[in-house]
């Protein structure tokens, strides 16, 4: 009880870290779910952390905060030469990292993961932490690294640190740079035999022993090579810190998403990891930043106390993004911490969701339809998409998707893709064919059966790999509907993409919420040529997009199939 009483003896005005946590938990300060959880974790640890040997050292927390405000200067634009006065959320981060101690008396946190919207001031914060570790952390021969997969990326954060040194009279007396101007490559604190420099995985270095490692834009790292290299060198450091900063990403297969998910669990105290500090900005379920500005500070913690990145800028971004599917997703990711399924998704999750409807496939029996077929070679996804004609005025076209993978090694493929293929098969969203490669005979038989179910006017297909299937149909005596070769280049795909978008945005096309289709559409990105023609790009996508390609091919032939004589039928 004595320890608990001691940790709480200071008033909240003396303790900006605890003050911030209390304001967030009480709802007096706007914050997202993971930040609220981390603030509650801080308060819970003040009450109960002593049972695990944790100690809150307020003097050390405030000492670190004062280092920023008394020693460091900001740089660039209106902030050039001004003292680095930490905002409340930044005080919470810095104070937490330097104030919490473990049972051994050394700093508790060895990994920090900070995810906020673009322009919140993460990079200067990281640079300041690096400089604190260099000159004011009592660490002999401290090695401080700004780390990335490429040297030019590592230099961005490092240049912030160099500019801070140049702006600070206290630091220029103590730190000796190597190089001049933009070509400074090392900051040396000779008194302690310490240095601060950029490092990247392409340097081929194998022996760093970092005291503090700063990793920028972690969502861009395709592997964990950099972080694992740095962590491996901390064995001899008693209070080493890996400080990761990032925007939200566009590929959940990268290691950043793993840190995001794990950090959220640690903040919520679902996992007890006393060495991990997460500060993860996110919106709550139901928040729509395009409809209300009230939720913006949840992703942009600086908005409540400073104009960073500024309401004006975000309003401009939102205005441009409305009605533009690819722009909308980018704005949601960069400005509102929404993880997307692709770097610049072709269709945003929100637009796609508005077109979801429930309908019984059996009720569509006998209706006219067109189809798109994207046949895989061996182990990839094969996609067949029917677009079923409306029969009532105002009724939309209905998508009916089918997808196949080989059933051999399906779990291994699920692990590799990070997609629940086995579960989706059990739930009926995915079909499989026997063996290790796609059985074209199974696909052919299913296509033939579905052509009896619908009145199929025409099937658009990618000519690649189709010769064998058409030969099988001839050998087996299977009569197929009219088959149209559909080019995958800009000439054929651009008008098809436009047709699909027009139908979708005008409410003329709906889908059944099919999980494999949702996955493919979420992965789909477009590429554009010099004449602004567009097509879906499998090379740039972050996952499989085959059902999206099949849907676009089907849309591309909707306007060109033979018109029916019945005026009730709504072919365009």
In this structure, what DSSP letter does residue 525 have? Answer: B
Cross-strand partners of 404 = 382, 431
Task: Dig out the tokens for 467 from the structure.
Answer: 């010769």
Rounded CA gap, 110 and 311, in Å? 34
In this structure, what DSSP letter does residue 284 have? Answer: P
Query: Are 94 and 243 a contacting pair, CB within 8 Å?
Result: no
Q: What is the DSSP string of 474-487?
A: HHTTPPP--EEE--
Q: What is 353-558's CATH number, 2.60.40.10, 3.40.50.720, 3.30.420.240, 3.90.1150.10?
A: 3.30.420.240
Rounded CA gap, 201 and 205, in Å? 7
Contacts of 174 (CB under 8 A, 6+ apart): 135, 189, 191
Q: Quick one: CA dihedral 317, 318, 319, 321, positive or negative?
A: positive
Task: Dig out the tokens for 373 from the structure.
Answer: 């077929």
Task: Dig out the tokens for 558 from the structure.
Answer: 């909707």
pLDDT given for residue 567 in this prediction: 38
Other Cβ atoms less than 10 A from the Cβ of 4: the count is 13
Query: Are 383 and 545 a contacting pair, CB within 8 Å?
Result: no
Dihedral-angle region of residue 262 (phi above 0 means left; psi in -120 to 50 means alpha; beta otherwise): alpha
Task: Dig out the tokens for 75 from the structure.
Answer: 């740089």
Closest listed residue to residue 570, CA positions, set 506, 501, 482, 498: 506
pLDDT by residue for the chain (572 residues), tens only, comes to 333 334 444 445 699 999 999 999 999 999 999 999 999 999 999 999 999 999 999 999 999 999 999 999 988 777 788 899 999 999 999 999 999 999 999 999 999 999 999 989 999 999 999 999 999 999 999 999 999 888 888 888 999 999 999 999 999 999 999 988 788 999 999 999 999 999 887 665 557 899 999 999 999 888 888 888 888 888 888 999 999 999 998 878 889 999 999 999 999 999 999 999 999 999 998 899 999 999 999 999 999 887 666 888 899 999 888 766 667 878 999 999 998 766 667 887 778 989 999 999 999 999 999 999 998 877 789 999 999 999 998 899 999 999 999 999 999 999 888 899 999 999 999 999 999 888 989 999 999 999 999 999 999 998 877 888 888 888 888 888 899 999 889 999 999 999 999 999 899 999 999 999 999 998 888 888 888 788 998 887 878 999 999 999 999 999 876 544 443 343 33
Q: DSSP E strands: which ranges in 191-347?
A: 194-200, 212-215, 241-246, 276-280
Which single residue is written with the structure tokens 């981390």? 38
Which single residue is written with the structure tokens 């047709």? 499
Give the DSSP H/E element, type plus range, for residue 100: strand 100-101
Which single residue is written with the structure tokens 């990618």? 462
Cross-strand partners of 76 = none
Chain-centroid distance, C-alpha 227: 18
Query: Are 64 and 152 a contacting pair, CB within 8 Å?
Result: no
Cross-strand partners of 500 = none
Count CA within 13 A, CB hemisphere, residue 281.
Answer: 33
Rounded CA gap, 373 and 443, in Å? 10
Q: How many residues does the chain have?
A: 572
Rounded CA gap, 52 and 50, in Å? 5
Q: What does pTM read for this prediction?
A: 0.69
Burial of 11 (C-beta count, 10 Å sphere; 0-12/13-18/19+) = exposed
pLDDT digits (tens, 9 = 90+) for 237-294: 899 999 999 999 887 888 999 999 999 999 999 999 999 999 999 999 889 999 999 9
Rounded CA gap, 201 and 43, in Å? 38
Rounded CA gap, 92 and 39, in Å? 9
pLDDT given for residue 204 in this prediction: 54
Query: Are 109 and 277 a contacting pair, CB within 8 Å?
Result: yes
- Beta strand 212-215 with 241-246 is parallel
pLDDT digits (tens, 9 = 90+) for 13-49: 699 999 999 999 999 999 999 999 999 999 999 999 9
Domain extent listing, the chain: 2-280, 353-558
Query: Are 69 and 83 a contacting pair, CB within 8 Å?
Result: yes
CA end-to-end span of the chain, whole Å? 77
pLDDT given for residue 342 in this prediction: 62
pLDDT given for residue 5 in this prediction: 38
Q: What is 2-280's CATH number, 3.30.590.10, 3.10.20.30, 3.40.50.300, 3.40.50.720?
A: 3.40.50.300
Query: Are 393 and 482 a contacting pair, CB within 8 Å?
Result: no
């Amino acid at each position: 009880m004595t320890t608990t009483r001691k940790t709480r003896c200071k008033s909240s005005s003396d303790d900006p870290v605890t003050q911030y946590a209390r304001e967030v938990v009480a709802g007096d300060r706007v914050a997202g779910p993971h930040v609220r959880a981390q603030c509650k974790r801080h308060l819970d640890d003040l009450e109960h952390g002593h049972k695990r040997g944790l100690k809150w050292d307020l003097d050390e927390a405030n000492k670190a905060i004062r280092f920023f405000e008394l020693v460091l200067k900001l740089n660039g634009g209106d902030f050039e030469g001004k003292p680095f006065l930490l905002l409340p959320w930044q005080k919470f981060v810095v104070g937490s990292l330097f104030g919490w101690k473990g049972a051994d008396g050394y700093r508790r946190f060895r990994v920090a993961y900070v995810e906020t919207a673009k322009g919140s001031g993460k990079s200067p914060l990281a640079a300041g932490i690096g400089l604190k570790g260099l000159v004011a952390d009592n660490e002999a021969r401290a090695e401080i690294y700004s780390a990335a997969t490429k040297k030019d990326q590592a230099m961005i954060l490092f240049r912030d640190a160099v500019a801070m040194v140049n702006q600070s009279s206290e630091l220029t007396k103590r730190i000796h740079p190597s190089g001049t101007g933009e070509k400074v490559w090392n900051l040396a604190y000779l008194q302690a035999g310490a240095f601060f420099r950029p490092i990247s995985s392409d340097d081929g270095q194998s022996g760093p022993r970092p005291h503090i490692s700063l990793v920028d834009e972690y969502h861009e790292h395709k592997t964990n090579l950099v972080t694992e290299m740095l962590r491996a060198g901390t064995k001899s450091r008693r209070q080493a810190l890996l400080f990761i900063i990032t925007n939200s990403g566009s590929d959940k297969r990268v290691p950043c998403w793993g840190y995001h998910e794990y950090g959220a669990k640690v903040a919520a105290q679902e996992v007890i990891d006393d060495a991990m500090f997460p500060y993860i900005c996110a919106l709550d379920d139901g928040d729509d930043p395009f409809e209300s500005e009230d939720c913006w500070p949840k992703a942009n913690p600086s908005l409540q106390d400073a104009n960073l990145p500024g309401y004006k800028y975000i309003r401009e971004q939102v205005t441009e993004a409305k009605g533009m599917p690819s722009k909308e997703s980018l704005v949601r990711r960069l400005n509102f911490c929404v993880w997307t399924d692709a770097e610049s998704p072709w269709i945003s999750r929100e637009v796609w969701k508005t077109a979801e409807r429930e309908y019984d496939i059996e009720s569509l029996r006998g209706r006219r339809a067109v189809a798109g077929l994207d046949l895989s070679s061996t182990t990839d996804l094969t996609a067949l998409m029917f677009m079923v004609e409306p029969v009532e005025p105002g009724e939309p076209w209905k998508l009916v998707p089918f997808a196949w993978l080989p059933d051999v090694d399906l779990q291994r493929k699920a692990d590799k893709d990070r997609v629940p293929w086995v579960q989706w098969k059990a739930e009926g969203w995915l079909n499989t064919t026997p063996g290790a490669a796609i059985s074209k005979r199974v696909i052919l038989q299913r296509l033939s059966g579905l052509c009896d179910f619908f009145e199929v006017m025409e099937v658009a297909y990618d000519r690649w790999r189709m010769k064998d299937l058409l030969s099988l149909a001839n050998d087996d005596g299977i009569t197929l509907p009219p088959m149209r070769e559909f080019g995958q280049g800009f000439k054929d795909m651009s008008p098809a993409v436009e047709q699909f978008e027009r139908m979708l945005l005008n409410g003329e096309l709906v889908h059944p919420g099919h999980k494999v289709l949702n996955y493919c559409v979420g992965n789909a990105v477009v590429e554009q040529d010099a004449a602004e023609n567009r097509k879906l790009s499998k090379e740039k996508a972050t996952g499989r997009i085959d059902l999206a390609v099949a849907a676009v091919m089907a849309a591309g032939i909707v306007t060109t199939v033979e018109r029916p004589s019945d005026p009730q039928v709504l072919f365009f």
